Amino acid sequence: MPSLTATLQAKEKFIAFTVVGDPDLDHTVEYVVAMAQAGADVVELGIAFSDPSADGPTILSADQRALDNGITTEQVFATVARIRQQTDVPLVFLTYTNIVFKYGYAEFLAQMQAHDVQGLILPDMPIEEQTAFLPLAQQYGRDLIQLVTSKSYDRLPAILQNASGFVYVVSSLGITGTRQTLSNEANEIIAQIRQYSDIPVGVGFGISQVEHARQFPTANAIIVGSAIVKIIAEHPYDATPYLTQFITAMKEAQHAQS
Amino acid sequence: MTTNDHRYFGQYGGQFIPELLMPAVTEVADAFHHYQHDAAFQAELKDLFINYANRPSLLYHAKNMSADLGGAQIYLKREDLNHTGAHKINNVLGQALIAKKMGKTRLIAETGAGQHGVATATAAALFDMECEIFMGKEDTDRQALNVYRMEMLGAKVNAVTTGTQVLKDAVNATFQDWTKRIDDTFYVLGSAVGPYPFPEMVKYFQSVISAEAREQFLYQTGRLPDAVLACVGGGSNAIGSFANFIDDSEVKLIGVEAAGKGVDTNQTAATMTRGSVGIFHGMKSQFLQSSDGQIDPVYSISAGLDYPGVGPEHAYLRDLDRAQYVPITDDEAVAAFDYIAQQEGIIAAIESSHAIAYAMKLAPTMRPDQQIMVTLSGRGDKDVAAIARYKGVDLHE
């Protein structure tokens, strides 16, 4: 299986996000496979947390639906095993530090390795708190995805030193959620990153419309979360055609930019 | 991750926050450490404490209670007599003054019972700053009077409708608001929780409680108290009450947490009794949570103690066996609320009534020549309606 870095080396890549267990585990398997078939180059699997501090109301509600279904960390790994029977699309987890801490850092990373989940995004683990986790992630060959914002410039060398897989550029201040218009700030952040590193860059937070897909030509990938979660919220048990249509349109818009 | 890391208390503390907030929190830490050693800042804060907040607060010998309980002498540290009616003003004046010096123009804060929100709205009015308060929807209902009070002071109060709609959700909402407006906004965190430097900074400003109390005990009684009691939600009045006694190993330090309907029920907020180590709200500490790491909904009659975590230094003090933490139920707290009103003519906050309730258990086990300090963290006017409801009394409000 290619690494995240290799997968995202070219431009115009698409990273799709969904919360495991929203609306239920069977549909998560179906939707991940469908999104991969529709052209998602990487799928980000959210492990629900009761208090997702970096997320807006859309993803918070999805987390709550998953938790109301009684989703456990063990069930998430079992679901990944089912996904792996149908697709080898690169997978990345997104969750909060406490979920991984309570499972055990090494135990969690071992499960990621066993289920071929290549990367992990922890929005509440800044570089200052990665001392214990990062060496373990490297030991298990997993990428701890670093986040970069427009406030991070002084911290970029230190952040990029810890980076592998790809770098997640936060397109705008605030929390996750769809936005009508997005600033072009991410392009400036990418230019700053490029002074130090050629690691692939994905831009996320607020990307939800075809216009946004064309807005970041220097990024290797766009990351779409809330817009996909909204589709699943609107069509919980029959989202496949809507997801396929949305991802196809976004991919086409990305290609049209070049 | 070790005690060598100044951001930690033993294994607890740290800065588990989004990258987006790291520069903002670092800016706050730098400013705090600068003004800690700035004579002009200290003079200005001292003037505010004395001439605005009504410090020093009294250390009052509660003779009626002491005689009635028939054991140790009880002394009340009267933070309820501060301007705005609680200890919260100590920390707020300190943080708001730092914010002002940093050039920030907008204060935001979470609040549970509303006391911290009122204090923040007060400081914002005094310093001519914009102010927004985040309060769980359930708490805006329980503490409607405090909501109106904050609005009268010019603050905008946002009722938080996500999650369990109480204090922890208000903290989430305030951090989220901060990520949207870092440049002009300062988050006045009200308890000794959150990412470094907040637990250290809140302790620093609340330490005035025990700095005064230590002198007052020596002056009034010629010696230190045998035990210091304070209620603990996040633990700001408790850490302030403990701070200047931590090195006096003969002084017992006792934090009193809210058991709600009982520590064996799922309607409790007794973090120290029932919790486990976790990472939440920017810190590693003790939390009420599931085996998977989901934060538990918590319950207490007291909106100010209704919190699933505790400040990292409290978790550390307990690990060191330097402080102990005990649970008090709703019923015990309400009984103490009535008791101190009738014995001493003091309407104490329902939060502080938890500490009073434990003093009622502890004092009779001690000798009359021994002395207990109980921090009366706030006044109870805000709680009168809720207590009436609890007892099934219809006040025709």
Q: Tell me the two tokens of residue A29.
A: 């398997």
Mean pLDDT of A27-49: 98
Q: What is the percentage of chain A residues whose pLDDT exceeds 70?
A: 99
Rounded mean pLDDT of chain B? Answer: 96
Q: Tell me the two tokens of residue B223.
A: 């010696």
Mutual orientation of helices B88-102 and B39-51 as an angle, nearest 10°? 140
Q: State the pLDDT at residue B2.
A: 47
* Domains, chain A: 11-256 (3.20.20.70)
Q: Count the Cβ atoms, other than its own, within 10 Å of residue B44.
A: 16
Q: Which residues of chain A are within 8 Å of residue B20 when distances are taken between CB atoms?
A: 54, 147, 149, 151, 170, 173
**Which residues belong to CATH 3.40.50.1100 in chain B?**
12-49+88-202, 55-85+207-390
Mean pLDDT of B232-242: 97
Answer yes or no: are the C-beta atoms of B22 and A155 closer than 8 Å: yes
Mean pLDDT of B302-322: 96
Would you identify the CATH topology of the domain B55-85+207-390? Rossmann fold (3.40.50)
Residue A210 has pLDDT above 50, yes or no: yes
Q: State the pLDDT at residue A172.
A: 83
Q: Tell me the two tokens of residue B262.
A: 């009982």
Answer yes or no: are the C-beta atoms of B332 and B256 closer than 8 Å: no
Residue B3 has pLDDT above 80, yes or no: no
Q: State the pLDDT at residue A257.
A: 60
In chain A, which residue's Cα lies nearest the Cα of B282? A124
Q: Torsion angle of alpha carbons B279, B284, B286, B288, nearest 10°?
A: -10
Highest mean pLDDT among B40-44, B112-116, B304-308 belongs to: B40-44
**Displacement of CA A65 from its chain's centroid (Å):** 19
Terminal CA-CA length for chain B: 52
B179, B280, B295 ranked by CB distance to A173: nearest: B179
Strand B282-287 and strand A91-94: the pairing is unpaired
CB contact under 8 A, B23 and A152: yes
Residue A256 has pLDDT above 70, yes or no: yes
Q: State the pLDDT at residue A258.
A: 55
Rounded mean pLDDT of chain A? Answer: 95
B1, B15, B20 ranked by CB distance to A170: nearest: B20
A67, A101, A174 ranked by CB distance to B278: nearest: A101
pLDDT in tens, B330-364: 999 999 999 999 999 999 999 999 999 999 999 99
Mean pLDDT of A56-78: 96
Q: Which of B12, B20, B307 to mutate to test the interface with A (most CBs of A within 10 A)?
A: B20
pLDDT in tens, A143-163: 999 999 999 999 999 999 999
β-bridge partners, A167: A146, A201
Q: State the pLDDT at residue B116.
A: 96
Q: State the pLDDT at residue B163.
A: 85
CA gap B17, A161 in Å, rounded: 19
Answer yes or no: are the C-beta atoms of B347 and B380 closer than 8 Å: yes
Q: Which residues of A touch B (CB under 8 A)?
A: 49-51, 53-54, 56-57, 60, 67, 72-73, 97-99, 101-103, 123-129, 131-132, 146-149, 151-152, 154-155, 159, 170, 173-175
- The more confidently predicted of residues B256 and A180 is B256
Q: Which residues of chain A are within 8 Å of residue B294 when distances are taken between CB atoms?
A: 49-50, 67
CB contact under 8 A, A159 and B17: no
Across the beta sheet with B73-78, the strand order is B59-61, B73-78, B371-376, B227-232, B252-260, B323-329
Mutual orientation of helices A57-68 and A226-234 as an angle, nearest 10°? 50
Catalytic residue list of A: 44, 55
Mean pLDDT of B361-368: 98
Q: Tell me the two tokens of residue B383.
A: 């709680």
CA atoms within 13 A on the CB side of B108: 21
Would you identify the CATH topology of the domain B12-49+88-202? Rossmann fold (3.40.50)
- Reported confidence tier of residue B303, pLDDT bands at 50, 70, 90: confident
d(CA B328, nearest CA chain A) in Å: 27
